[in-house]
Amino acid sequence: MDHFEKDLVDALKDIVKAGNWQCVGDKSKLKSPCTKFYSDDGEHIVLVHTEDDNFWAMDSSCPHEDSLPIEINSSENTVCMWATKILNTPDPQEKVSLTKMVQENWNSGKITETGEAIPPAHPKRKDNLTVVEPGKIKRGKGGTLASRIALLHSLANIEQWAIDLSWDVIARFSTFRLSTGEPLPRQFFDDFVKVAGDEAKHYQLLEQRITELGSFFGALPVHNGLWQSATDTSHDLLARLAIVHMVHEARGLDVHPQTLSRFASQGDTSSVKVLEVIYADEITHVAAGLRWFTYICSQEGRWYVPLVKPSILQKTS
């Protein structure tokens, strides 16, 4: 670099030092699934190929173990291992990327084993979030732009927790056995991998809409009240299915039409479209909870009282 002006060289060095550079692997190991880098702003990625056949990325990440672009083909490549990794991932964008990758690999057969893993007691969150008590969140009624942003922000927070709840039920209850000694069938994990994928899609749609309206996720306080239900039901799969999926999610369906109408009355058709996608998916999530609750009860000869409203039962049939 001797032929460059010193000021230019110094400026370039400053840029390199200030950037979040990380080695993303040797060229020979850069397999196609690992070229899906993503950046904080969703657009700009700088990828440098050095003379030693390594790739370096600035201000971007690869959604793989330790950010290394390699495929895991060992015994650790199980849905429970990935579920635990996602629960321990604080960045919501990375959480979404990992969820999509695991869902794709589970559905395509690249991940075949359920495995076992110990999930964290509490999922990781970014340090820059302001966490308050649930009752202190101001959601508004959607009559102003600020109020609509607050509502979408609150929903995005719920969806991020919903991603974690889906992976937690997979990892925490992977060793569950019926009273007959039988494990849960693969279809149980199919259902909740799909639920996790849907929740990731919902978060992404909401975050994008918040950005379009001139804000960002994390601009407002959030709460972790939904996770309290996970803590309270961590010992009992039936309780988890009933409380989280047949009560909380069903309650969300009850209030959803009113929320949607608030955005529609303000002519916010883009937000309405997002909420309509979420509503349709959430009906199937209540159905999943109900399906596995009744499956376990029927297999174990338990008597139970339906815990959801007739209107919800009709929607899920």
Region 171-192: what's the mean pLDDT?
97
Q: Are residues 271 and 131 in the same domain?
A: yes
Judge whether residue 2 has pLDDT over 80: no
Residue finishing a domain among 14, 37, 71: 71
Helices and strands: H and E segment counts in the chain: 10, 5
CATH code for position 218: 1.20.1260.10
25 vs 65, which has greater pLDDT? 25
Judge whether residue 163 has pLDDT over 70: yes
Q: Are residues 177 and 138 in the same domain?
A: yes
Judge whether residue 181 has pLDDT over 60: yes
Q: Are residues 142 and 2 in the same domain?
A: no
Region 113-127: what's the mean pLDDT?
94
138 vs 212, which has greater pLDDT? 212
Q: Which pLDDT value is given to residue 176?
A: 97
Q: Are residues 207 and 277 in the same domain?
A: yes
Per-chain mean pLDDT for the chain: 81
- Which pTM was predicted? 0.74
Asked if residues 169 and 240 have their Cβ atoms less than 8 Å apart, the reply is yes
β partners of residue 220? none
Q: Are residues 131 and 29 in the same domain?
A: no
Q: Which pLDDT value is given to residue 248?
A: 87
Q: Which pLDDT value is given to residue 71?
A: 46
**Chain segment 12-31, per-residue pLDDT in tens:** 666 555 555 555 554 454 44
Region 225-231: what's the mean pLDDT?
91
Confidence of residue 310 (pLDDT cuts 50, 70, 90): very low
How close are the terminal C-alpha atoms of the chain, in Å? 69
Residue finishing a domain among 22, 50, 71: 71
Judge whether residue 36 has pLDDT over 50: no
Under 8 Å CB-to-CB from 29, ≥6 apart: which residues? 69, 70
Cα(205)–Cα(279) distance, integer angstroms = 13
Cα(217)–Cα(210) distance, integer angstroms = 7
**Chain segment 74-112, per-residue pLDDT in tens:** 567 899 999 999 999 999 999 999 999 999 999 999 999
**Chain segment 239-275, per-residue pLDDT in tens:** 999 999 888 888 888 888 889 999 999 999 999 999 9
Q: Are residues 37 and 79 in the same domain?
A: no
165 vs 225, which has greater pLDDT? 165
Q: Are residues 213 and 301 in the same domain?
A: yes
Cα(60)–Cα(47) distance, integer angstroms = 9
Cα(34)–Cα(279) distance, integer angstroms = 33
3-state secondary structure 16-74: HHHCCEEEEEEHHHCCHHHHCCEECCCCCCEEEECCCCEEEEECEECCCHHHCCCCCCC
Region 137-158: what's the mean pLDDT?
85
8 vs 168, which has greater pLDDT? 168
CA dihedral (179, 180, 186, 190) in degrees, to 10, reads: -30
Confidence of residue 38 (pLDDT cuts 50, 70, 90): very low
Number of domains in the chain: 2
Coil, helix or strand at residue 78: strand
Q: Which pLDDT value is given to residue 317?
A: 41
Q: Which pLDDT value is given to residue 253?
A: 83
Task: Looking at 58-185, list the stretches that DSSP marks H as alpha helix, in order from N- to C-terminal side.
Answer: 79-87, 92-108, 145-172
Q: Which pLDDT value is given to residue 257?
A: 87
Q: Are residues 31 and 102 in the same domain?
A: no
Residue finishing a domain among 30, 49, 71: 71
How far is CA 154 from its chain centroid? 15
